[in-house]
Amino acid sequence: MPYINIKITDENVTTEQKQALIQGTTQLMVDVLNKDPATTFVVIDEVNLDNWGIGYEQVTQLRKKKAGNN
Amino acid sequence: MPYINIKITDENVTTEQKQALIQGTTQLMVDVLNKDPATTFVVIDEVNLDNWGIGYEQVTQLRKKKAGNN
Amino acid sequence: MPYINIKITDENVTTEQKQALIQGTTQLMVDVLNKDPATTFVVIDEVNLDNWGIGYEQVTQLRKKKAGNN
Amino acid sequence: MPYINIKITDENVTTEQKQALIQGTTQLMVDVLNKDPATTFVVIDEVNLDNWGIGYEQVTQLRKKKAGNN
Amino acid sequence: MPYINIKITDENVTTEQKQALIQGTTQLMVDVLNKDPATTFVVIDEVNLDNWGIGYEQVTQLRKKKAGNN
Amino acid sequence: MPYINIKITDENVTTEQKQALIQGTTQLMVDVLNKDPATTFVVIDEVNLDNWGIGYEQVTQLRKKKAGNN
């Protein structure tokens, strides 16, 4: 009966990538904990870059700085 | 002071249905736990079908299979 | 496939009350949204009174003030 | 390593306000708990007014009532 | 910068199993999304069987029924 | 009506520190967003070091390594 919530930044994640995250985490529950996949939920939240902060800064700003360094 | 978070798939949930979920869960807190409705929060998250997985699969795929069976 | 998370203060909630919360919220998903109860999860978190704040104060303090007023 | 999730109603919150929330909560983790800001995450969720309930009612309705009183 | 929250029932999960869940989900973020493991958080919540409901019932009851069938 | 959830490792956080986190985040909601403190909730989750991973590792292991370096 696991419930897995994955929060990632909203940066063009494809349907195939989401499917891979769902399959991979569900398989992990089966392999490690012997859980039933039929009652394993995975919910992915894609978060706007303005709404995610790390090290005092919005990811929006971090991405700009990184781009500026190239 | 309860806080209730309801996560459901984003499939044309109406304002009336949301209101019914809010009233019903709040009433449950009052009836079962004698909580004060004035400080009972209900937050509903509607999740894209691509972002919800169950049994290794995205709900998007499950809905297609079900439709194909009819 | 709803997932409902109920956060309440940890104040001697009984097994019967928890069961009533699980039954009531699950029934609401069935009645309002026509969801399948077999894939409806309810998770209850009981939070220590020191760890819940409202109006700048820990619930621990609010309970003491209320008791002092009687 | 703190993780802070802020849920607020979706009412024209500006980038500057989000930045202030991120800086303020991160600083609080540093000042109160001596945490490393480099591994302090802040995630802000903006919730539709129809999807947030308090006191049995959607915030949408509360805002209308308040406006009607003026 | 992913944040992954895994909720499972509290049933004697070992430190090795927790470590396997952390490694597996982190590796998935690296493999599927090219994320930096240094800023990938995994938080595991172990939930009391009385506090988790599925299909109207507490997991405590489901486990008893299953044991009774053997 | 904000709801703030703070997840930190369970490492002897004092009541005074929790109170400071509650007051600080509530004040931030008032200062930055003009929110009403009477309906601002703060919930603190203290997470066991075995249950928090970062960079593929449990915090339990990271703390041991750090201690070993001294």
Q: How far apart are CA B26 and CA B42, in angstroms?
A: 8
Q: How far apart are CA D32 and CA F24, in angstroms?
A: 9
Strands B52-54, B57-58: pairing kind: antiparallel
- Catalytic, C2? Answer yes
Structural contact between residues B52 and B9, judged by C-beta atoms closer than 8 angstroms = yes
CA atoms within 13 A on the CB side of B26: 22
**pLDDT of residue D70 exceeding 80:** no
Residue that the structure tokens 């802070």 belong to: D4
CA distance C29 to chain E (A): 11
C-chain residue closest to A37, CA distance: C39
**pLDDT of residue C50 exceeding 70:** yes
The catalytic site residues of F sit at 2
Q: Which residues of F touch C50 (CB under 8 A)?
A: 15, 18
Q: Do D52 and B46 touch (CB under 8 A)?
A: no
DSSP secondary structure string for all residues of chain B: --EEEEEEE-S---HHHHHHHHHHHHHHHHHHH---GGG-EEEEEEE-GGGEEETTEEHHHHHHHHHHH-
Q: Which residues of E touch F52 (CB under 8 A)?
A: 41-44
Q: How far apart are CA D49 and CA D61, in angstroms?
A: 9
Confidence of residue C66 (pLDDT cuts 50, 70, 90): confident
Confidence of residue C69 (pLDDT cuts 50, 70, 90): confident
pLDDT one-digit tens code per residue, A1-53: 899 999 999 999 999 999 999 999 999 999 999 999 999 999 999 999 999 99
Comparing A69 with D15, which gets the higher pLDDT? Answer: D15
Q: Which residues of C touch A35 (CB under 8 A)?
A: none
Q: Do C26 and E55 touch (CB under 8 A)?
A: yes
First-last CA distance in chain D: 46
**pLDDT of residue F34 exceeding 90:** yes
Closest Cβ opposite residue C24 in set B2, B28, B35: B28
Is chain D in touch with chain F: ≥3 Cβ pairs within 8 A? Answer: yes
What's the pLDDT score for residue D66? 85
Strands B41-47, D52-54: pairing kind: antiparallel
Neighbours of chain B (3+ CB pairs under 8 A): A, C, D, F
Q: Which residues of A touch D10 (CB under 8 A)?
A: none
- As for the ipTM of the complex, it is 0.96
Q: How far apart are CA A58 and CA E12, in angstroms?
A: 39
Q: Which domains does chain C have, with CATH numbers?
A: 3-69 (3.30.429.10)
What's the pLDDT score for residue F70? 60
**pLDDT of residue A70 exceeding 70:** no
What's the pLDDT score for residue B70? 59
- Angle at alpha carbon of residue B15, lines to B11 and B19, rounded to 5°: 115
**pLDDT of residue B67 exceeding 90:** no
